[in-house]
Chains A and B, each alone.
Chain A
Amino acid sequence: MTELAIKFAGVGKQYRYFTLHNIHLEVPPGQIMGLIGPNGAGKSTTIRILMGLIHQDHGEVRVLDHRMPAEQVAAKWDIGFASEDMRLYDAMTLDWHMRFIRSIYPQWDPAYAQLLLKRFGLLAEQKIRGLSHGQRVKATLLLVLARRPRLLVLDEPTTGLDPVARHEILRELSAVMNDEGRSILFSSHNTQDVEQISDQITFIDRGRIIDSMDKEAYLDRWRRLRLEAPSGIELPALPGVINIRQTGRLAVATSNEFVPGIARAYEQSGARIQMIENMTLEEIFVAKVEHSREEVEA
């Protein structure tokens, strides 16, 4: 059996004002998992537990078949970690950081590091304090990628970047996946970035994983139906429809398990289907979060 790159089983962590509830998460090798959640959803807490930086109160975490946090030293040899709140030493140059990392990781690839310097438009001799935010993120990613880790863990790496820098970074991450043995866990509240590179998507909100599946399955299953419902017609509650919003004669139904039978059922109830639309990942995410919150509050 192939080992999972990441496995969370019933992981929880309690703080005074925030609780991470019973997280189950699996990332197979060779996959890019996008972890999407609003600010304060628990993405960073999940990732910090994964990295052994904070200890879970309960549950099991395995990363590259190492138990975390007990075997974090062994695991970290093969993990490249970068987060939005991670900074390099601003008084030192990028070259100093490259030599520092190279002296630790025997798998450091100097040719790839030089290639990344060129691709990212960075100067090795420049001090970190002289770099823009985008350049700092690229410098951090260079240090992570050139050590050729089996698993990349990226916590909001594209936050605050301009579109060009985001594109450069996402392109490089996609290129990294040419090596099929590698895996990436990529957290963001920017669904466009996640949609662009991920194979699998996990939604997290208020410390709970509210859904997790293959990206294509999400995009295939979710539909928005625009309906015209004459007065006096009551739209039926159908399985697979998580939300109906009606304004006068017009209604919008959101389905998370769309099948043609849903449209037929509305037509049989007297409504007219104006349009059936595919949904973007952002729209799916917002609908899922709202539905999940309604369920929890009910």
Chain B
Amino acid sequence: MKGSVVWTLILSDLHRHRTFILFSILSGGLALVLIQVGGELPSLLGTIWFFTGMIVLGCMLPGSNVINERKKQTLPFLMSLPMSISQFTAAKIVSTFGIFFVPWLTLVITAVAFIAGHKGIPHGIIPVVIVLSTFVFVGFGLNAGAALVTESEGVMVASMIVTNSSYGFGWYMLARNPAIGAGMKSPVIVWSKEILTVLGAEFAVIVLILGLTFYFQSRKRDFV
């Protein structure tokens, strides 16, 4: 019974955001089409569009799926359902991360397949695309965790400012790394130690965010 309420809430969140998911995938797909056109400017614009779409999704989703529950006063409706605060937290984490994960993974797979099938782009860039995309996932995770724990629009906006500012810096640092920089130009995929370290750190941060979100939520005594 308990599991079914959590599952129902997850499915309802996914259903309410289905247009959001489709639009994100479509937007990322169009960005790849622009890159496919070829030429320096379309490729640059397509790449910016691709990652910007992902970043926008990571910023809007916590507001739409978490903050709005309080702001639009649907939280009392949900909390009247037979589930505990930790079950609600679990449902919201799974649905929020799920709504992001579906278009994110679709776009990452599509981008990797696109590069792999494109003779003009060195395949060595694939690990970097995965690292950069995962970096956006980390930023989304921070925004979502801040939104879930604080339920404050102000804190979430502050989190978005921090994460959005960090993308440029993070990507710059990656590009400056000699091993990663060299790997990017390779015609074959190179999983260097540096790439794997960064990727491992990113996944560790995601796990940490999830753990901290559960921890802080479980300590809450007042929920509405």
Contact = CB atoms under 8 A, between A and B. Distances in A.
A and B part of one assembly: yes
Contacts of A103: 4, 8
B87 A87 contact: no
A76 B8 contact: no
Interface string A90-129: 1110000000100110000000000000000000000000
Given A53-B76, A54-B222, A92 B16 contact: yes
Given A54-B222, A55-B222, A76 B72 contact: no
A87 B83 contact: no
Contacts of A90: 72
Nearest to B76: A86
Given A73-B83, A77-B82, A104-B8, A54 B224 contact: yes
A73 B77 CA distance: 14
A81 interface: yes
A92 B72 CA distance: 13
A100 B76 CA distance: 15
Interface in B64-117: 72-74, 76-77, 79-84, 87
A207 to B, nearest CB: 16
Contact of A104 (B73, B74, B82, B87): B82
A51 interface: yes
Nearest to B19: A91
Contacts, number: 63
A79 interface: yes
A86 B2 contact: no
Interface in B39-81: 72-74, 76-77, 79-81
Nearest to B221: A55
B114 to A, nearest CB: 33
A37 B9 CA distance: 35
Contacts of A85: 73, 76
A70 B51 CA distance: 45
Interface residues of A, number: 27
A110 B73 CA distance: 26
Contacts of B222: 53-55
Contact of B77 (A54, A55, A76, A87): A87
Contacts of A92: 16
A53 B8 contact: no
B59 to A, nearest CB: 20
Contact of A89 (B5, B74, B76, B84): B74
A89 B13 CA distance: 11
B12 interface: yes
Contact of A79 (B4, B16, B76, B80): B80
A255 interface: no
Given A88-B74, A104-B5, A51 B80 contact: yes
Nearest to A78: B82
Nearest to B80: A81
Contacts of A53: 76, 79, 222-224
B84 A86 contact: no
Interface string B1-20: 11011001000100010000
A263 B12 CA distance: 65
B80 A100 contact: no
A67 interface: no
Given A53-B222, A54-B223, A103-B8, A86 B82 contact: no
Interface in A31-58: 48, 51, 53-55
A54 to B, nearest CB: 4
A87 B224 CA distance: 13
A48 B81 contact: no
Contact of B224 (A48, A74, A82): A48
A183 interface: no
Max chain A C-beta neighbours (<10 A), residue from B72, B74, B80: B80
Contact of B73 (A72, A79, A87): A87
A76 B81 contact: yes
Given A73-B2, A73-B87, A104-B5, A54 B73 contact: no
A252 to B, nearest CB: 43
Nearest to A79: B80
Q: Which 6 A-B pairs have the closest CB atoms?
A: A81-B80, A76-B82, A54-B222, A87-B73, A55-B221, A53-B224
Given A53-B223, A86-B74, A87-B74, 6 more contacts: A54-B222, A55-B221, A87-B77, A88-B77, A89-B16, A104-B8
Interface of A: 48, 51, 53-55, 72-74, 76-77, 79-83, 85-92, 100, 103-104, 140
Interface of B: 1-2, 4-5, 8, 12, 16, 72-74, 76-77, 79-84, 87, 221-224
8 contacts: A53-B222, A54-B221, A54-B224, A73-B84, A73-B87, A82-B80, A86-B73, A88-B77
